[in-house]
Amino acid sequence: MKLKDKVSVVTGAASGMGKAIALLYAKEGSRVVVSDINEEAAKATVEEIKANGGDAIAVLANVAKEEDIQNLIDTAVKTYGTLDVLVNNAGIMDNFEPAGDIADDAWERVFAINTTSVMRSTRKALPIFLGKKDGVIINIASAGGLQGARAGAAYTASKHAVVGFTKNTGFMYAQEGIRCNAIAPGGVETNISHSMTNINPFGMGRLQPGLGLNPRTGKPEEIASVALFLASDDSRFVNGTVITADAGWTAY
C-alpha cells in the first residue's frame, strides 16, 4: 500500500479524474478528504470508498471561494490530524473563445477555479507541510497548459499559469521536504464538458484540425495512476515538473 496512513485532500473528487484519484488513493491506504461543489456526489464517492474498506469524508467546497478552501484544509486536519498530499484537481473549461471574444466575468471565473484556487489551497497547506518537513502537492494542469490550441484563450492561459506556479513552488520548497508536480492530461473522459455552455464557432473552427490528431481519449483511472506515482515515494526524486499523459497527442 503505497499511501498507507497518509492523509490526502482531492478537490473536484465527486467525478472524473478526481474521483478516480480518490478511489485509488484510498485503495492504497490513504485517508481521503473528498472535496467537491456537488456535495451529494462527493458523499457517493465516500460511500464507495467505505464500501471497499477505505476511510474518507466529504467536504463541500467551491474552490473559487477562499473561505471554502480554508474550511477544507482545516476540516482535513481536524478530522485526521494532519495533511500529507494535496491534489488540486477541480477545474472548468472555457467555451473556446479567442482573445477578442473573452468577457471579463468568464475570464475571471476560469482563473478563479483553475488557477487562484491552486495558489490558495497550496498556501493553506504549506504551513502544515513546513511544520513536518514533508508534503506533496499535485496540480492537474492540461495539455492546454503546454500548447496554445487545445482550448480557448482563458483556459489556455489559466493552465499555463498552473504549470508555472507548479515549477516555482517545487523549486522554492525543494529543501523543505516538499514536492510539487503537475499532470498535463490530454483529452480524458470526464464531465468537464458540462462547464461549456456556448461554444465559440471561430475558436472551435481554429482548434478542430488539432483535435483530430488526438490518438485517443484517456480514462480517469489512467490519470489516477500517474497521480499515485507522484504522491508516493516512487517519485521522491521528481519535483517541480509536469508529467504529460495524453497518448502522445502533444508529441506531434
Rounded to whole angstroms, the Cα distance separating 230 from 228 reads: 5
CATH of 7-251, one of 3.40.50.300, 3.30.9.10, 3.20.20.70, 3.40.50.720: 3.40.50.720
The predicted structure's pLDDT at residue 197: 82
How many Cβ atoms are within 10 Å of 34's Cβ, its own excluded?
A: 32
Q: What is the model's pTM?
A: 0.96
How many Cβ atoms are within 10 Å of 71's Cβ, its own excluded?
A: 17
**Mean pLDDT within 171-189:** 97
247, amino acid identity:
A
Residue 155 a catalytic site member: yes
Q: Partners of 137 in the beta sheet?
A: 86, 180
For residue 71, is pLDDT > 80? yes
Which triple of cell numbers denotes residue 80? 485526521
Residue 91: phi and psi, rounded to 5, are: -170, 165
Active-site hit among 25, 80, 155, 173: 155
- Return the closest-CA partner of residue 34 out of 20, 22, 25, 24: 22
- What are the extents of the domains in the chain? 7-251
For residue 69, is pLDDT > 90? yes
Rounded to whole angstroms, the Cα distance separating 76 from 231 reads: 17
The predicted structure's pLDDT at residue 191: 75
Q: Nearest 5 degrees, angle CA 182-CA 186-CA 188?
A: 105
